[in-house]
Structure formats: C-alpha cells, structure tokens
Amino acid sequence: MWGGRFADGPSAIMREINASIPFDKALWRQDIAGSQAHVAMLARQGIVSEEDAKAISEGLDRIASEYEMAGVPEDWDLEDIHMTTEARLAELIGPVAGRLHTARSRNDQVATDFRMWVRDAIDQMDHGLEALQNELVFRAEEHAESIMPGFTHLQTAQPVTLGHHLMAYYEMFGRDRSRLADARARLNECPLGSAALAGTGFPIDREMTSEALGFDGPTANSLDAVSDRDFAMDYLYAASVTALHLSRLAEELIIWASQPFGFVRMPDALSTGSSIMPQKKNPDAAELVRGHAGRVIGCHTALMITMKGLPLAYSKDMQDDKPPVFEAAGLMALSIAAMTGMIADSTFNTERMREAAELGYATATDLADWLVREADIPFREAHHITGAAVKLAESRGCALDDLPLADLQKIDDRIDERIFEALSVDASVAARSSYGGTAPDEVRRQVKRARAALGLDG
Ligand code: ARG
C-alpha cells in the first residue's frame, strides 16, 4: 500500500509485530459498514462517480458475504482488516477500488470502526445486565421474608432478609447500566472524515456519514478524533466496576455454598465435581467469575498505560487498544451469563439461614433499642446492658430469647416480659421498615419499584 517510498520490503519480524489482522478481523462488519457509508457520501458529493461508487459498494457487499461464509483471511503482509478488505476489493473490481480511500485514512477509519464495535459491546452488556437484574428481582420477591444473618466484618450483625440482600445487587447492576449509558452517549460521535489527523481538502459531508453509521454527529476536532480512545477506556472502566460487583456476589455465593454455611446449593449445571473426592461439588463458575474480574480490571489498566504517554495524533501503540477490549467483552459476556444462571437456579436453604441468624445474637441491637424506647435508657447504657445479656447467653450456649426473664432482670430490672416480642428475628426484620430497609414489606416495595423500572409488569 505504501510501497512507493520503500526500496526493501519489511523483515519477517516487522511483518509479525505490525500485523493486527489476527485480532482486528473482529472489526470486519464495522469496517465494511464504514466503507459503505464513506463511498455513498463520496458519490453524493461528486468526489467519485456514481458508477465507481456502485462498483465499490457491490464489491464490499460481496466481500461481506465472503467473510460471513469463510471468515476473514489472515495475511500478515496486509497488516490489518482495512488493508485486507481493500486488497480484496482490488482483486474483485480492479484499480477503481483505490478510489474508496479518497478523503480517508486508516486513522479515522479504525477510530470509527472501533467506536461502532464498542457501541455494540455496550449494548450487549446492557442486555445481559438487564436479564441478570430480572432474575435478582424474581428471587428477591420469592425471598422477601426469608431471614438470614446480615454481616459486617463477616460477623453476624443483624438479621436481614435474603430478598433485601439480593436487591442490593440489583442496585449495583443498575448503576453499572447507567455507567454504560453514560459511556455510550459520550462515545457516539463519528470520527470519519478526520482523515489522517488534519481533516481533508475534499468537499466531504461528515453529517451524512455520521448519520448513516448511527452516530449523533461528527467529532469536533480531527486531531482529537484520531487520537482519542476515551470511549474504549470508559467502556473498560464500566466493565471493571461491573466485574467487581459480579465478583463480590460470586464470593458470597462461594461462602454460602461452603458446608459450614450451607446457605445455598448451586445448580449442578454450573458446578463441577472433583476427580479424587467424590463428595465434592465445587462452585467453579462462581470462582471463575471472581477470577475474571481480575483480568477485566487488567484490561482497563493495560489500555490506560498504552495511552498515557502518547503525543497527538495517531501512534502505532494505539493498535494495541483492541485486544484488551475484545478480551474484556468476551469475559464480561460469559461472567454475566454464568451469574444469571446461578441466581436463577440456585436453591436457598432458608431454614439454615434462619438458624444462623438466630444463633449469632443478631437481635442484640433490638434489645438495646427496646431499652431505649421502652425504658428511656440512653443508648450507650443500653448497649452496655445488652452486652451483659449476650455474655450470659454465650456462657450458657443459648439464644438471647432463651434467657429466662428473671436472669435478664438481674442484669437490669427495667426489662419486662415484653422484651421477648422484640428479640425474635422476625420482629427484628419487621421493625426495620425505614425506606430502603430490610423489613419484608419494605423489600416488597423495593421489588415493586424495580419491576416497574424493568418494565416487568406489562
Ligand atoms: N491497524 C491499525 C490500528 O489498528 C490501523 C491504523 C493504522 N494507521 C497508521 N497510521 N499506520 O491502529
């Protein structure tokens, strides 16, 4: 393509280090669409003849069906998807193919292709997260009253409902989706027509190509447009935070599925056995979701570091932008699908969860709150009295509400029999009915709002 200036061809090493076709062939659909929009614009502006444009456009259609059927050929000498397609076009229609690249450079071409690819990846991830949110809402509704221990420091803190816990993740994935929407809105400007870096002297119509490719408008500065990969970093950041949320949920499922917890039985279809220990059922899918988060965050870091020292405008370092984005997109699609399956098909052992909540003195705060409310004791003092009650129950190996009233009254004589109504885990969760709280009725309200937001009610 640039043979005119060179006496010698590239060395084998140069060919290999330069070739991006092994990975950027993933952009072929976007590349053909971009070329079609470009050539239609060139014809409309009278920059190429209608006849030549028609030959180019038909050639591109034919190449698209070849790629569709047989895949994209990988010839390192042709470097990348852009030159591979152009070379094939020349084979098909002859020298007229050379007119396609008028008023264009691979720099604005790849920036445009890549934006379109990332835009699709954003849309796919958003759909995946919506499906995951749906499952969370279904399971939360089912378990609005199922009591489990809530933890801080992974120590039993206060009883909560499983529905409440699942809805916490609904919120996280909602924020992830809004991050994706932000990234998409910022991404959706078309670099095509920026040419190599400085724009072009041909009378192009950037509005026309931008509209044809589904963008909101052309980018404002050609130097920025060919140098900018913010859209890919925005996507990778949004993916990283999502992966982090998936990893936290995966970690909880792994803990809950362990024998000492026994809160959840993971679906067989998303677990594996052990080749040596017949009793084992391992939560591999959850562990891989947790593991993949590390890789996705690594992809984000990789691109940031690639970009950080680059002067304007394009440098070949930027060719390395694609592998981390493609890798992250693949990992995210798998992770989200696996998590959706785990949420949909896990069996929660609600008896075991309730027992754990009852055993952990999770209602100690309720005892303290009762002393404040019913006996007008300052909270700090109530906290102290409650501590003594917990100590006593612990020494006897019983729950707080198993302590005889007489013993509680020995600790503080302002306690009376009404205390037992406050000490059950059911009373404890039912009391926490503040907006966003864990009370079953409040969880049902959260579910109701979520169902409306997701359009689940028809
Ligand atoms: N394969 C290149 C990339 O992905 C295309 C742009 C090449 N531009 C250039 N000036 N060599 O970055």
List, as one string, the DSSP characters of 271-336: -B--SS-TT--B-HHHHHHHHHHHHHHHHHHHHHHHHTTPPSS--GGGGGGHHHHHHHHHHHHHHH
Q: Which of 18, 315, 319 to mutate to test the pocket of ligand 1 (most atoms within 8 A of CB)?
A: 319
Q: Which residue's alpha carbon is nearest to atom 2 within ligand 1?
A: 319
pLDDT of the residue at 2: 62
Report the nearest atom of ligand 1 relative to the CA of 316: 12
pLDDT of the residue at 167: 98
Per-residue pLDDT of the chain (458 residues; tens, 9 = 90+): 666 777 788 889 999 999 999 999 999 999 999 999 999 999 999 999 999 999 999 999 999 999 999 999 999 999 999 999 999 999 999 999 999 999 999 999 999 999 999 999 999 999 999 999 999 999 999 999 999 999 999 999 999 999 999 999 999 999 999 999 999 999 999 999 999 999 999 999 999 999 999 999 999 999 999 999 999 999 999 999 999 999 999 999 999 999 999 999 999 888 888 787 878 889 999 999 999 999 999 999 999 999 999 999 999 999 999 999 999 999 999 999 999 999 999 999 999 999 999 888 889 999 999 999 999 999 999 999 999 999 999 999 888 889 999 999 999 999 999 999 889 999 999 999 999 999 999 999 999 999 999 999 97
Measured CA to CA, the distance from residue 156 to residue 387 in angstroms comes to: 15
**Is 47 near ligand 1, meaning CB less than 6 Å away?**
no
**Is 109 near ligand 1, meaning CB less than 6 Å away?**
no
Q: Which residue's alpha carbon is nearest to atom 7 within ligand 1?
A: 106
Q: Which residue's alpha carbon is nearest to atom 3 within ligand 1?
A: 319
Q: Quote the ligand 1 centre to 20 CA distance (angstroms).
A: 9
DSSP 150: E
Q: What is the length of the chain?
A: 458
Is residue 27 within 8 Å of 84, Cβ to Cβ?
no
Q: Quote the ligand 1 centre to 279 CA distance (angstroms).
A: 54
The angle that helices 230-257 and 106-142 make with each other, rounded to 10 degrees, is: 30
Beta bridge partners of 312: none
pTM score of the predicted model: 0.94
Measured CA to CA, the distance from residue 334 to residue 350 in angstroms comes to: 29
Q: Which of 24, 25, 27, 110 to mutate to test the pocket of ligand 1 (most atoms within 8 A of CB)?
A: 110
**Is 106 near ligand 1, meaning CB less than 6 Å away?**
yes
pLDDT of the residue at 311: 98
pLDDT of the residue at 3: 64
**Is 194 near ligand 1, meaning CB less than 6 Å away?**
no
Look-up: residue for tokens 């009404």? 418
Report the nearest atom of ligand 1 relative to the CA of 314: 10
**Is 235 near ligand 1, meaning CB less than 6 Å away?**
no
Report the nearest atom of ligand 1 relative to the CA of 24: 4
**Is 83 near ligand 1, meaning CB less than 6 Å away?**
no
**Is 20 near ligand 1, meaning CB less than 6 Å away?**
yes
pLDDT of the residue at 259: 95
- Burial group, residue 180, by CB count within 10 angstroms (0-12, 13-18, 19+): buried
CA-based end-to-end distance of the chain: 56
Q: Give the start-end residues of each E strand in 127-208.
A: 147-152, 155-161, 189-190
Measured CA to CA, the distance from residue 315 to residue 313 in angstroms comes to: 7
Look-up: residue for tokens 């699942």? 166
Q: Quote the ligand 1 centre to 59 CA distance (angstroms).
A: 23
Q: Which of 78, 106, 322 to mutate to test the pocket of ligand 1 (most atoms within 8 A of CB)?
A: 106
Q: Quote the ligand 1 centre to 10 CA distance (angstroms).
A: 16
pLDDT of the residue at 27: 98
Q: Quote the ligand 1 centre to 333 CA distance (angstroms).
A: 27
Query: Which are the catalytic amino acids?
Result: 153, 274
**Is 110 near ligand 1, meaning CB less than 6 Å away?**
yes
**Is 24 near ligand 1, meaning CB less than 6 Å away?**
yes
Is residue 51 within 8 Å of 93, Cβ to Cβ?
no
pLDDT of the residue at 359: 83
pLDDT of the residue at 177: 98
**Is 318 near ligand 1, meaning CB less than 6 Å away?**
yes
**Is 321 near ligand 1, meaning CB less than 6 Å away?**
no
pLDDT of the residue at 6: 78
Angle at 93 between CA 88 and CA 99, to 5 degrees: 85
